[in-house]
Amino acid sequence: MSVAFAGSSTTSPSRGAGPLRVMIVDDSVVIRGLISRWIGAEHDMEVAASLRTGLEAVNQLERINPDVAVLDIEMPDLDGLSALPKLLAKKRDLVIIMASTLTRRNAEISFKALSLGAADYIPKPESTREASAADIFHHDLIQKIRHLGARLRRKPAVASPPLAPAVHAPPAREPAARPATLAPAALAAHATSSLSLTTRPFSAQAPKVLLIGSSTGGPQALMALVTELGPVIDRFPVLITQHMPPTFTTILAEHLARTSRRPAHEAVDGEPVKAGRIYLAPGGRHMRVVRNGADTAIALDDGPAVNFCKPAVDPLFTSAIDIWHGGILAVILTGMGSDGMRGGKDIVAAGGSVIAQDEASSVVWGMPGAAANAGICAAILPLTQIGAKVNRLFAGDRS
């Protein structure tokens, strides 16, 4: 995976401390009305504009000067994917959240949008008449606007370049080229955290499995990380929970397979867990591991959300303890909330180790920050250093 540097563009004016200004761009009057009401009810954000097409958004961007744009994919005149680079060319640090219904085509487009500089994506419900679906959409959208917008305001105005799209890799097994950086548009120049965090020693036990949890910013981080994990994947199982809906996890698994040049797929209930493969929790179901005779197997769970998420990281982390005991290395990457922290505590109590992504390289330092502040981490590292550290630990390093 390589990095495509954007051309010259304007920078935004200095940011004030007022409410986040949100531009809603969607051809559905119902969706625009819903989002406008939700934003209007929040004390820390306001509707800067409600527009019907991407063309209107591009033409009026300088006048509106939003902090965040919620951008539909399918619109007349100029669709969301076509409008995205035009908006970022005018305002590089604009936080763009792509919104789409759950189809394979829209999932592919959302991943393409991430590669072009979108900060995140959100699935829209098929029908806003379904109360539970609308409630989830409401909760997730407001949280994404708030956390990504807050991240933006803590950064300098000029953003780092977005990731280039993952390329189709040849069948050879050589390690892929290391990405120079990972940042989407919302991830600007690195900042130094003022927190003084305590770490603990790594486990004296050799790791036997790699577990990874991630959320907001996770797809980009995962694809950057797996390019460096070939030696680990070849000899040990790798299990990943990324907060993501159905269909999107299907596409993510395909991207991980191409990027890592190793087998990667959505986990299937009852299948054996083997070295040499990446197992991704499917959207809408929790992934656990269980004993199946002398083997270890995947167990998918259709139970309630955990930490407001389904799939959630904690069920994977805690279930792994009964299988691998202290031989677990868990990595918690960028994401909102605190999912993974409780499971990480259990892993450490059982003798395993936890690595968290640092604040500066995270799109949102919620999940890794919760683990770091809980004092359970053996290391808190930039994304660009995690792969090398994981390789050393699986090769025998214990420090």
Residue 158 inside a domain? The answer is: no
Residue 184 inside a domain? The answer is: no
Residue 243 a catalytic site member: yes
User: Of 50, 160, 203, 215, which residue is the catalytic one?
Assistant: 215
Q: How many Å apart are CA 69 and CA 351, to the nearest integer?
A: 44
What was the pLDDT predicted at 127?
65
User: Of 110, 115, 120, 243, which residue is the catalytic one?
Assistant: 243
Residue 328 sits at φ, ψ, to 5 deg, of -115, 130
Residue 339 a catalytic site member: yes
Are 389 and 256 in the same domain? yes
Residue 183 inside a domain? The answer is: no
Domains: count for the chain:
2
What was the pLDDT predicted at 173?
36
Are 241 and 101 in the same domain? no
Are 137 and 256 in the same domain? no
Are 235 and 376 in the same domain? yes
User: Using 50, 70 and 90 to split pLDDT, how confident is the model at 136?
Assistant: confident
Residue 136 inside a domain? The answer is: yes
The chain-wide mean pLDDT, for the chain, equals 86
Are 374 and 239 in the same domain? yes
Find the angle CA(208)-CA(212)-CA(214) to the nearest 5 degrees: 175
Residue 117 inside a domain? The answer is: yes
Q: Amino acid letter at 177?
A: A
Q: What tens digit of pLDDT does each residue of 118-129 get?
A: 999 999 887 666
Are 268 and 149 in the same domain? no
What was the pLDDT predicted at 150?
85
| Residue at a domain's end among 153, 178, 194 | 153
Residue 14 is classified by DSSP as: P
Residue 196 inside a domain? The answer is: no
Are 236 and 385 in the same domain? yes
Classify strands 379-381 and 353-357 as parallel, antiparallel or unpaired: parallel
Are 147 and 216 in the same domain? no
Q: What tens digit of pLDDT does each residue of 39-82 get?
A: 999 999 999 999 999 999 999 999 999 999 999 999 999 999 99
- Domain that residue 283 falls in: 209-394
| Residue at a domain's end among 134, 153, 172 | 153
What was the pLDDT predicted at 184?
39
What was the pLDDT predicted at 247?
92
Q: Which of 334, 321, 317, 329 is nearest to 377 (CA)?
A: 329
Angle between helices 383-394 and 218-226 (to 10 degrees): 40
Are 266 and 381 in the same domain? yes
Are 97 and 241 in the same domain? no
Q: What tens digit of pLDDT does each residue of 2-44 get?
A: 333 233 333 344 355 789 999 999 999 999 999 999 999 999 9
Residue 14 inside a domain? The answer is: no
Q: What tens digit of pLDDT does each residue of 324-374 get?
A: 999 999 999 999 999 999 999 999 999 999 999 999 999 999 999 999 999
Rounded mean pLDDT of 156-160? 39
Classify strands 68-72 and 286-292 as parallel, antiparallel or unpaired: unpaired
Q: How many Å apart are CA 245 and CA 305, to the nearest integer?
A: 12
User: Of 26, 93, 120, 339, which residue is the catalytic one?
Assistant: 339
Is the confidence at residue 169, as pLDDT, over 60?
A: no
Residue 173 inside a domain? The answer is: no
Q: How many Å apart are CA 279 and CA 24, to the nearest integer?
A: 36
Q: What tens digit of pLDDT does each residue of 233-285 get?
A: 999 999 999 999 999 999 999 999 999 999 999 999 999 999 999 999 999 99
| Residue at a domain's end among 106, 136, 153 | 153
Q: Which of 338, 296, 353, 346 is nearest to 317 (CA)?
A: 346
- Between the alpha carbon of residue 71 and those of residues 131, 211, 297, 326, 354, the distances in Å are 22, 33, 40, 45, 36
What was the pLDDT predicted at 163?
41
Rounded mean pLDDT of 200-219? 96
Residue 190 a catalytic site member: no
What was the pLDDT predicted at 154?
66
Q: What tens digit of pLDDT does each residue of 291-307 get?
A: 999 899 999 999 999 98
Are 370 and 306 in the same domain? yes
Residue 154 is classified by DSSP as: T
Query: Are residues 309 and 243 in contact, defined by beta-carbon separation less than 8 angstroms?
Result: yes
Longest dimension (CA), the chain: 65
What was the pLDDT predicted at 371?
98
CATH number at residue 272: 3.40.50.180
CATH number at residue 63: 3.40.50.2300
Residues in the chain: 399
What was the pLDDT predicted at 133?
73
Helix (H) or strand (E) segment spanning residue 117: none
Are 390 and 252 in the same domain? yes
